[in-house]
Amino acid sequence: MPLKLDIVTPERTVLSEDGLDIVIAPGSEGQLGILPSHTPLLTTLGIGELRARRGTEELTMVISGGFLEVRNNVVTIIADVAERAEEIDIDRARGARERAASSLATREDDIDVAATQAALRRALMRLRVAERYTRRAGSGRRGMPGSTE
């Protein structure tokens, strides 16, 4: 029995994919590898990369915060933020990285340090996922239907 993966955010349904061999998600305590027949699980998510594979196809996303549930070979993610690799706006992420890094360096304006550190980590993760995706797309590796990977 393969896995189904549903990802929603408060704003939208990000994806619904079936027939997956594995889902690797950024749990708040570290990476979680979920294979078919996984035991039921409910856990929280951190900031990181989510990957799902179906045969030789791979889907890559950035996830930030939320919950992951596994039940009956269905992985449901309710994330604060989720973007597919091909949706990431690299210039925007670079801008967010610079803003967060310079606020942390100067500690001006009584910034919320934890929130700014989280914004920096999101921006760095977006850049990492988008850059790897661009390299792979250039090498002709296939992504899942619906992506241009």
The residue ranges that bind ligand ATP (CB under 6 A) are 11, 64, 81, 83, 87-89, 92-93, 96, 119, 122, 126
Min dist. Cβ of residue 129 to ligand ATP (A): 10
Task: Supply 131's token pair.
Answer: 């850059």
Query: Which of 59, 107, 98, 112 has the alpha carbon at shortest distance from 82?
Result: 59
Residue 129 is which amino acid? V
- Residue (3 or 88) nearer to ligand ATP, CB: 88
- Residue (51 or 84) nearer to ligand ATP, CB: 84
Query: Which of 25, 22, 60 has the alpha carbon at shortest distance from 136?
Result: 60
Cβ atoms of 58 and 51 closer than 8 Å: yes
Min dist. Cβ of residue 95 to ligand ATP (A): 6
Min dist. Cβ of residue 81 to ligand ATP (A): 5
